[in-house]
A and B are shown apart, each in its own frame.
Chain A
Amino acid sequence: EAEVAQSPRYKITEKSQAVAFWCDPISGHATLYWYRQILGQGPELLVQFQDESVVDDSQLPKDRFSAERLKGVDSTLKIQPAELGDSAMYLCASSLLSGTGRPPYEQYFGPGTRLTVT
């Protein structure tokens, strides 16, 4: 069964350092999402891509976070500099397509990267 791949699974970094996470969506999925899930909270969308274009990054803290999906396949989420409050699980999800033609429940989540900032 196809799955969303993420790496690393765990990352510990010191505050003010840079950190990057990688996601490889299910093959053929045009839409890719990055979510942040703080311990004890539900996931919150950071950024959504349709192919290589950003569809929604309204909740992405752009002063320190950046995301790219250069060839419309895999994606990288970067934080620079990391702050203590960035400690969370970073989840990647993918779906065939987004928009009114596709129901929202067809998002498949990866296992996440658990980030600890010390």
Chain B
Amino acid sequence: QKEVEQDPGPLSVPEGAIVSLNCTYSNSAFQYFMWYRQYSRKGPELLMYTYSSGNKEDGRFTAQVDKSSKYISLFIRDSQPSDSATYLCAMSALNSGGSNYKLTFGKGTLLTVNP
């Protein structure tokens, strides 16, 4: 079992729809939870991050973390064609030496928002 599981999709929705993207994880040591957006042939860019459990909202984007279920979500409201991209979840815990954080990514979900 991989440490981070993410449904690769693809996911296709009409413009204006609410999108829900999810990841599950197995490592209870993860403390930071991040969502990255990656456009085709580009590097990932950070969308949102959450430390420990809870919700965080930024405009049309809401990130949720449920550590008891080891489950994180990203919601996109009023989705736009410009939101079409691959969305990667990433999580981080201190390494075994306690000196450094390391990112562990999911596979990414390919989202297409149709006009």
Task: Give the B-binding residues of A (Cβ under 8 A).
Answer: 4, 40-45, 48, 55-56, 91, 93, 98-100, 102-105, 107, 109-112, 114
Contacts and interface: CB of A to CB of B under 8 A. Distances in A.
Given A42-B105, A44-B105, A104-B92, A111 B42 contact: yes
A107 B43 contact: no
A109 B36 CA distance: 10
B101 A109 contact: no
B45 A43 contact: no
Given A43-B88, A43-B105, 12 more contacts: A42-B105, A43-B44, A91-B44, A98-B100, A100-B98, A100-B99, A104-B34, A104-B92, A104-B101, A105-B46, A107-B46, A112-B41
B66 to A, nearest CB: 19
Given A40-B107, A104-B32, A99 B44 contact: no
A99 B92 CA distance: 12
Contacts of A110: 43
